[in-house]
Structure 1
Amino acid sequence: MIEVNELTVRYGDATAVDELTFAAKPGQVTGFLGPNGAGKSTTMRAVLGLEAPQSGTALVAGRPYASLKRPLLTLGALLDAGAVHGGRTARAHVACVARSNGIGLARVDEVLDRVGLTPAAGKRIATFSLGMKQRLGIAVALLGDPEALMFDEPVNGLDPEGVRWIRELMRALAAEGRAVLVSSHLMAEVAVTADHVVVVGGGRLIADTPMAALAARYRRDVLVRAADPAALATVLQAHGGVVRAEDGPGVTGPAVTGPAVTGLAVTGLAVTGLEARRIGELAFAHGVALYELTPREASLEEAFMELTDGSREYVAR
């Protein structure tokens, strides 16, 4: 497990991380989210012992990273794909890191193959694209077959195939029981990859919650399509639902407001105030056939924007 406990990191008068506490647990992908300047990269650097906190701890498997004799066997990390010697070949770079942790050369070729760099293993890193450097950094992170992994913006520079590959890789690593902590600004990717999300702003914790719970917290409405939408709207309003006509092709009805609704020509109803199950029960009880019953949540991006409102450092006008 990657554990951050009451971590505080300051640079002069500026506080980058402010009494931050969270954990990335085994068997799940934890999304680490926050606007620019929120303290995500500083926190990850503190986990690796690259930042000295003023107070608190950052531990891997219950120990400081710097105290591990062969750290790559416990935590593999990719923070900066460009932090490599351009004059070395990919294989030489990975072999050098492997030797520092007592890892055999057979593992070098194994991880290069897993990230798809076998054809480029003999090429100098200076000729690599950003996406290839990302794959190389991921190969190094996987080198020690570690218990936990940490990635900062791992999909930068990757093409669509690469984005899909890293998504599936992180899911597979978590399924093997490893803790995976990933920081990204791509909300859509985090939404389909992470099991749990930690949101920070201004160096402080804003949210630490399962992805499903976050979605439920920001649930918008239930989309209902029925054989007789006007009759169903009347029933739902009578039981406390707020109903409006759903915008879309073929919709001619205005927002639904009164208890007596007639003549609605709509393709759907957007309902708030009632759960999908209750809507289904009411429709059944009143003999209204349903074609669709879909709970709709705000996207992770919308939830993120609401959560971090007021903590964003740079806002364009």
Structure 2
Amino acid sequence: MTTNLAERVANRRNHVPARQSAQHGAAAQPTLVQFVQSMRGEIARALPAHVANPERIARIALTELRRVEHLAECTQESFGGALMTCAQLGLEPGGALGEAYLLPFWNKKVRAYEVHLVIGYQGMIRLFWQHPAAAGLATHTVHENDEFAFEYGLTPVLRHKPARSNRGRPTDYYAVATMANGGSAFVVFSVEDVEAIRQRSKARDFGPWATDYDAMARKTCIRQLFKLLPKSSELARAVAHDEGVRRDASPEGLDVPPDYVEGEVVEQAPTQQAVEDVPEEFTGWPEAAEPAASQ
């Protein structure tokens, strides 16, 4: 599956639309480079206390401008918004660690490229472990020759015994979390479930879906699992901004729901039980804002 996606990405890159002239790309890149340089002070002020290297964030952003096709042609507003979201969440905006990805999309309404921020598998995990009540998080791929069984309900069951060899093709993905108070929850997605969600993503044919399908499938499980768990404000914001466009690079912009491309369907969480015995101090913690589905 990944190979086919990679081939489609290569084919797409071989076809350059008329609107993307070499002259336009060459002119846009210095502008965004200068823009990133000018944002270093804002990045430094936005970084959480445990992340104290604004120069690294800026260097990674400049590297991504050179590495990712059409990223240098994106609007300054969307690039600055995505970069500030990464800074405020303490995530590195590049594919090396898999914490966050800056992906360009063509917005037909404004006839310009805009940056969509995709929170990666490792980024979601990192934000989960910043929660003071986090006790455990695991994601796994189930193969056809593994022993696997699960049940939802009042007495949920999850059992997975991987085959020692010849595991066969993947059939399911799951994520399970435990909290310090003993509460737990899990979600299971079949390959078909994951593929249906991938098809609804604007980044379905390139970016991490093309290069790291297995990690993105597990991230899909984690993202849905987080809807059942108490969240820190950072995690709630990350889920809200995942695959969105932020055009406000001010510190307050992180609390404003991002824009989603018209026609994009946001995946809905399956009906599962939530974590039991959530501590009282987590009552009222912010939940991720989900955009309304297009009619």
More helix by share: 2
Structure with higher Rg: it is 1
TM-score by length of 1: 0.22
More strand by share: 1
TM-score by length of 2: 0.23
